[in-house]
Amino acid sequence: MRRALILLLRRLIGAVPVLLIVAVGAFLLLEAAPGDAVDAYLAATGGADSERVSELRAEWGLDRGPLQRFLAYAAALARGDLGWSTAFQRPVLDVISERLPSTLILMGLATALAFGVGSLLGIFAGARPGSLRDRALSLTSLAVYAMPGFWLGLVLIVIFAVDLRWLPIGGLETIASGKSGLDRFLDIGRHLLLPVASLGIVYLALYLRLMRDSMAEIWKEDFVRAARARGIPRRRLILRHVARNALLPVVTMLGLQFGSMLGGSIVVEGVFAIPGVGRLALEAVSQRDIPLLLGVMLISAVIVIAVNLLTDIAYAVLDPRVGSSGTAA
């Protein structure tokens, strides 16, 4: 317990410089991009006269220099205020918190699909490395991993939504349906089938291969041979000895891949019209909305840090050797 708390504390302290780097980095990148939020606004609204243009710049604080603006932003952040989004004309915190649940659900389900099904299939393949089913699964997973996620998404839409009309083409739920409770839950589930599949299937292939390769390595270990010699039944051997050890690198990969999946969610959210945080980042860049972009980047960084922390804890739980001599963790 104490070890877990120390881990948590170390991680939290270590998170601060990470977040600072993310904030400064994102700010500098968007500053370096030519054009500002007022330019984006003028393009969308058909222009304005020069008086109005100066008025807008003053109103949005864009007439100050970059250092001034960053310091003002940092000061507000210290108070927990994520600032005002010029693209949405609302507080950044409101904009993000409205959309965060959709992204988290999408990514949570996609990760569950990828990790759950991927690991199971990986165990199935790795149970007998070199067998026909192993080769078939490995080949298929390689092909799937090579597919671009957005292409897969569009193909799934064309087949299941346009041609077969079994599933909706996008959106989070049926519009103004008035449903609640289980009905609404099922409705959202139906809408999320294709997006979760497009986002998850590619990572499923990754976890499948990882699990399978990991198991193939473990099969060669001495303790497995010893266990076989002891007469442990095959199924127990595979699950409790080989797979359980093979799971460790896959769990680590889960934490690492979560960040890249968050990036992939931008495209999937766009294609399937899901109101998530990924699209917000895109909007923020195209409208040069610095507070919004920083808000999205910071919240994403916090989520990724949290997920990595959870996987580290999971790793420690799964592997009794971790932390026992104080050398790991």
Give the interface with another protein as residue ranges (CB under 8 A): 33-37, 39-40, 42-50, 52-53, 87-90, 95, 98-99, 102, 154, 157-158, 161-162, 165, 168-172, 175-176, 270-276, 279, 286-288
Identify the residue whose tokens are 């945080």.
277
Q: How far is the CB of 90 from another protein (least distance, A)?
A: 7
On the CB side of 107, CA atoms within 13 Å amount to: 26
| Ramachandran assignment for 181, one of left (phi > 0), alpha (psi -120 to 50 degrees), beta (any other) | left
The least CB distance from residue 158 to another protein, in Å, is: 7
With contact defined as beta carbons under 8 Å apart, do 115 and 205 qualify? no
Select 49 or 222, whichever has its Cβ closest to another protein. 49
Which residues, at least 6 apart from 183, have a Cβ–Cβ distance to it below 8 Å? none
Choice between 68 and 286, CB closer to another protein: 286
Cβ closer to another protein: 20 or 58? 58
Minimum CB distance to another protein, residue 248 (Å): 38
Token readout for 317 is: 């739980």
State the Cα–Cα distance between residues 92 and 23, nearest whole angstrom: 15
Closest CA to 4 of 325, 310, 321: 310
**Closer to another protein by Cβ: residue 191 or 241:** 191
Residue tagged 């007998």 (tokens): 128
Taking the least distance from each CB to another protein, the nearer of 212 and 288 is 288
Name the residue with tokens 């980042």. Answer: 281
Distance in Å, CB of 44 to another protein, minimum: 6
Minimum CB distance to another protein, residue 194 (Å): 11
Closest contact distance (angstroms) between CB of 264 and another protein is 15
Taking only Cα atoms into account, the Rg of the chain, rounded to an integer number of angstroms, comes to: 24
* Cα 15 from chain centroid (whole Å): 18
Identify the sign of the CA torsion 305, 108, 203, 269. Answer: negative
Choose between 194 and 208: whose C-beta lies nearer to another protein: 194
> What tokens were used for 36?
């500002």
Considering the complex, state which of residue 117 and residue 147 has its C-beta at the smaller distance from another protein: 147
Q: What minimum distance in Å lies between the beta carbon of 185 and another protein?
A: 17
3-state secondary structure 12-41: HHHHHHHHHHHHHHHHHHHHHCCCCHHHHH
